[in-house]
């Protein structure tokens, strides 16, 4: 196992010049303007989504409240309807 | 919206180096700039992106090899930073905080990807197998060695590890960071980093052992 650990270390050591070269000459990063615009668009989408969710929740709460208020306003019906008077015309 | 961190907490680099050369001379982020960004001032936001982009890009480039994803990841990191800016307590270097968000975004990306293209030594290309043999059987690297190919081979081997192991081994072995620096940049505990590194090196050693020419078959 130690030999294999040494093998790993040797590989890392052999790759050092390439790592140093890569660090010294990094490839060009994406343009700042494009990145800024993209992030702004994402943040705007997230903001809209957040507000849309809040609005939907608020609407649901209002609808529920209105429903219960209206239901309470309806005149209460007796649980047992009075029986209709018996007809006197019996056979 | 945001708490103003103390002046001395931002923009200092107590750890000194940021790993390799391109991280060592990054401009500090002024608390006034952070406050202006939090207020949504456009010129401040542009300056902020320009200051952070080299750091974010350098970290992503070292952790994620597929260059097609670099721009998307940069956008994701900057979005997270902007959204979480009011959570920055100012107790640490702002650039360490940025580093932590970037590395954790890379970690999530690696976890989602779940592609481990190489699982055994036999999956290595002929050239890569040859370069390993050439490198590991000598005490010193050969003069005409293709260092780029060695680095490519190293990355192929590291790609076989779990995402957390990949990040730790790249930071420790390829960027030459100390355990303390890895903890600062990832937000993971020292024991977790050490155990992860130990497991990763054990796996890599087992993979390399498969190719040991002196190994009994």
Reply yes or no on whether the pLDDT at B199 is more than 50.
Answer: yes
Q: Poorest-confidence range of A23-27, A39-43, B126-130? A: A23-27
For A30, the closest of B74, B83, B132 (CB atoms) is B74
Is the CB of A39 less than 8 angstroms away from the CB of B138?
A: no
Provide the shortest C-alpha distance from residue B8 to chain A (in Å). Answer: 28
pLDDT band of residue B8 (cuts 50, 70, 90) is very low
Q: Kindly state whether B49 is in contact with chain A, defined as any CB-CB distance less than 8 angstroms.
A: yes
Cβ <8 Å between A30 and B83: no
Give the residue from chain A lying closest to B47, CA to CA: A32
pLDDT tens digits, residue range A35-79?
A: 888 888 888 888 899 999 999 999 999 999 999 888 776 666 666
Read off the pTM: 0.72
% of chain B at pLDDT higher than 70: 80
* A-chain residues near B138 (CB < 8 A): 10
What is the pLDDT at residue A24?
A: 76
In this structure, of A10-19, B15-24, B52-61, B82-91, the range with the lowest mean pLDDT score is: B15-24
Q: Do A26 and B58 touch (CB under 8 A)?
A: yes
A27 touches chain B (CB under 8 A): yes
DSSP chain B: --PPPPGGGSS--TT---SSGGGTTPPPPPHHHHHHHHTT-HHHHHHHHHHHHHHHHHHHHHH---GGGHHHHHHHHHHHHHHHGGG--SSS-HHHHHHHHHHHHHHHHHHHH---S--SGGGS-HHHHHHHHHHHTSSS--TT--HHHHHHHHHHHHTTS-HHHHHHHIIIIIS---HHHHHHHH---HHHHHHHHHHHHHHHHHHHHTT-TTS--
B135 interfacial to chain A (CB closer than 8 Å) = yes
Say what the ipTM of the complex is: 0.71
Of A7, A18, A20, the CB nearest to B150: A18
Asked if the C-beta of A68 comes within 8 angstroms of chain B's C-beta atoms, the answer is no
pLDDT at residue A84 above 90? no
| Stronger pLDDT, A5 or B145, i.e. the higher one | B145
């Amino acid at each position: 196992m130690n030999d294999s650990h040494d093998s790993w270390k040797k590989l890392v050591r052999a790759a050092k010049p390439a790592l140093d070269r890569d660090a010294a000459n990094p490839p060009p990063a994406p343009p700042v303007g494009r990145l800024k615009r993209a992030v702004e668009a994402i943040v705007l989408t997230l903001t809209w989504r957040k507000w849309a969710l809040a609005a939907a929740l608020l609407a649901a709460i209002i609808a529920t409240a209105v429903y219960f208020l209206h239901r309470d306003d309806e005149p209460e019906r007796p649980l047992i309807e009075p029986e209709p008077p018996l007809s006197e015309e019996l056979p | 919206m945001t708490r103003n961190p103390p002046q001395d907490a931002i923009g200092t680099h107590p750890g000194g180096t940021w790993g390799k050369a391109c991280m060592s001379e990054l401009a500090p982020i002024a608390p006034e700039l952070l406050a202006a960004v939090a207020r949504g001032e456009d010129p401040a936001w542009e300056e902020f992106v320009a200051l952070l982009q080299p750091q974010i890009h350098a970290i992503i480039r070292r952790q994620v090899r597929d260059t097609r994803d670099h721009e998307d990841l940069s956008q994701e990191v900057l979005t997270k930073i902007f959204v979480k800016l009011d959570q920055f307590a100012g107790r640490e270097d702002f650039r360490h905080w940025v580093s932590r968000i970037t590395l954790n975004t890379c970690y999530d990306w690696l976890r989602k990807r779940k592609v481990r293209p190489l699982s055994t030594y036999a999956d290595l290309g002929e050239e890569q197998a040859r370069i390993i043999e050439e490198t590991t059987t000598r005490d010193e690297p050969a003069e005409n060695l293709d260092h780029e190919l060695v680095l490519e081979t190293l990355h192929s081997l590291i790609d076989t590890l779990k995402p957390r192991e990949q990040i730790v081994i790249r930071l420790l072995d390829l960027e030459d960071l100390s355990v303390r620096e890895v903890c600062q940049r990832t937000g993971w505990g020292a024991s977790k980093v050490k155990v992860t590194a130990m497991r990763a090196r054990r796996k890599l050693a087992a993979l390399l052992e498969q190719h040991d020419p002196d190994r009994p078959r």
